Amino acid sequence: MSGFRTTVCEQPTQQGQGRVVLADPRGFCAGVDRAIQTVQTILDADNPHQGLPPVYVRRQIVHNRHVVEDLSQRGAVFVDELDQIPERAVRAGVPVVFSAHGIAPSVVKEAQRRGMRVVDASCPLVSKVHREVQRFVRDGYSIIYIGHRGHDEAVGVMGEAPDRVHLVEHEADIDALSFGPDTPLVMLTQTTLSLDETADLATALRLRFPWIEEPPGSDICYATQNRQQAVKMVAGQADCMIVVGSANSSNSVRLVEVARQALEVRFPGQGGQRAHRVDDAGELDPAWLQGMDSVGLTSGASVPEHLVQAVLETLASRGFTQVTRARAVEEHMHFVLPAALRSARVSRKVGQATGLTNSSVSG
């Protein structure tokens, strides 16, 4: 990823034609791309498991229903928990993919106990937070984790040490904590949160526990930061904003919040009415566009670009035919596939040539 730079490519808006300001970067981040490619690589390989699915995936591989539906149509079977995978499939060596959001050690142990062939598609940036938890627990710290209760990523991180990781979602959660200066404390963060939201909670934690420590670098991922910065830029040029993303996508929901806050500055009292989330073009409400001359458009980190293009087409059909782009930063991040799958691109024999063995968990 390069350093931050701001560029805006403008085109003149003709009279009577609305304008769309398209955020850049938007859509897939490196971790999401890696996770989806992991499942696709297995699906593209020859399936030696007669009468069984080519792959099981624990939870949604990424938080986007269109991605999950597309992979399901290709044969991937999604389960909530490992006990939904039949023993016959385990014995046959059908691969089991863990989602991009990270997993608790208890899930890993269950997979090992059953002898499953596992491919871990956890985002490397989420895995970094897991390693931080392990290190700080080993060094005697209690951990205050800023995150959203029930989110798959938060569940996985807290599962590393349930008795030592304390989740904070609101300032009221901070008030409920009780630690003395003799307790070493460190602050960690869910990777998909809003920078502003995290800053407020971090400030409150420092006031309550002045001795609390932080890792040398932010836990909020590069893609989350870049997309939020692009939204702020676009919101400074558009009358309203559309964020493409699913309701259970934390980073997509945060983009809507960032957009509302930025629009509130320009349109006091109206920020909440001028930023909207849609799963796809079919959810676009024409009423949102009434009286608007320009529309900002972006998408969450788990959203395929074709969904954005479909929204652009719908906006064009409603008179928003001029497209300009606002670029906040250029992204060059790339994560390689999990080690167990890299040879599968050549061999196309996932169950044999990947090197997967029973009870293996590969990152």
| Rounded-to-integer distance, Cα 55 and Cα 321, Å | 42
pLDDT recorded at residue 46: 87
pLDDT recorded at residue 194: 87
Single-letter amino acid code for the residue at 183: T
Which sign, positive or negative, has the C-alpha torsion 73, 71, 249, 305?
A: negative
pLDDT recorded at residue 120: 97
pLDDT recorded at residue 8: 38
Cα radius of gyration (the chain): 22
Q: What is the pLDDT along the chain (363 residues), one digit of tens a residue?
A: 333 233 333 343 343 489 999 999 999 999 999 999 999 999 999 889 989 999 999 999 999 999 999 999 999 999 999 999 999 999 999 999 999 999 999 999 999 999 999 999 999 999 999 999 999 999 999 999 999 999 999 999 999 999 999 999 999 999 999 999 999 999 999 999 988 889 999 999 999 999 999 988 889 999 999 999 999 999 999 999 999 999 999 999 999 999 999 999 999 999 999 999 999 999 999 999 999 999 999 999 999 999 999 999 999 999 999 999 999 999 999 999 998 887 544 344 444 333 343 334 445
pLDDT recorded at residue 217: 84
pLDDT recorded at residue 363: 53
pLDDT recorded at residue 278: 98
| Rounded-to-integer distance, Cα 191 and Cα 336, Å | 19
| Rounded-to-integer distance, Cα 108 and Cα 146, Å | 24
Residue 177 in contact with residue 134, Cβ under 8 Å? Answer: no
Single-letter amino acid code for the residue at 166: H
Q: Give the pLDDT confidence of 252-303 residue by residue, as tens digits.
A: 999 999 999 999 999 999 999 999 999 999 999 999 999 999 999 999 999 9
pLDDT recorded at residue 272: 96
pLDDT recorded at residue 343: 57
Q: Given 10, 132, 153, 197, which residue is catalytic? A: 153
Single-letter amino acid code for the residue at 40: Q
| Rounded-to-integer distance, Cα 339 and Cα 182, Å | 42
pLDDT recorded at residue 360: 42
Give the predicted TM-score (pTM) of the model: 0.89
pLDDT recorded at residue 10: 39
Residue 20: beta bridge partners? 295, 323
Q: At what angle do helices 222-235 and 195-208 cross, to 10 degrees?
A: 120
Residue tagged 């003395």 (tokens): 180
Count of CB atoms situated within 10 Å of the CB of 200 = 13
- Using alpha carbons, list the distances in angstroms from residue 297 to 75, 239, 270, 331: 32, 11, 18, 18
CA angle 164, 247, 330 (to 5 degrees): 85
Residue 153 designated active-site: yes
Instruction: Tell me which residue of 77, 59, 220, 64 sits closest to 155, measured CA to CA.
Output: 59
